[in-house]
Amino acid sequence: MAQYSNAEIDSLLKVSDEALYVKLSNIVLGEGLQFGPEDGEERRAFGARWFAHRRSEIQKIVCESDFAAKVRGNSESGDASLTVATVADGVAAMFGKPAALVIAILVVRMGMDKFCAATN
């Protein structure tokens, strides 16, 4: 099980989705040169596409198992940090710890029911 600090989760929960997509892109591609604002926009677009293309894989992990009941239970408790950590633990084996945390925040923000109901 991966370990995530509350401070790490809480700081990322304050970040916009656009910034999370840039962070996801930086994790997947490396930091890059960051020469101008267009580089950030390209990174955001790449991160959003990367997430969209892997959504069905993420849904299988998060929505189609006993794991989903555990996540929904945490979600209903209202503890966003615990829900994020639970989702991140579930996807970490496939995507790695840094990406898993960003993915988890995007999923939790969307809402478990909405994320699991939408299929590609």
Question: Which residues constitute the domain of residue 42?
Answer: 6-117
Is residue 91 in a domain?
yes
Phi-psi region of 111 (alpha: psi -120 to 50; beta: other; left: phi over 0): left
- Kindly report, residue by residue over 11-61, the tens digit of the pLDDT: 999 999 999 999 999 999 887 655 555 577 888 999 999 999 999 999 988
In a domain, residue 1? The reply is no
Residue 77 placed within a domain: yes
Domain count, the chain: 1
Please tell me the pTM assigned to this model.
0.85
Within 10 A of 21 (CB to CB), how many other CB atoms are there? 21
The answer to whether residue 108 is domain-embedded is yes
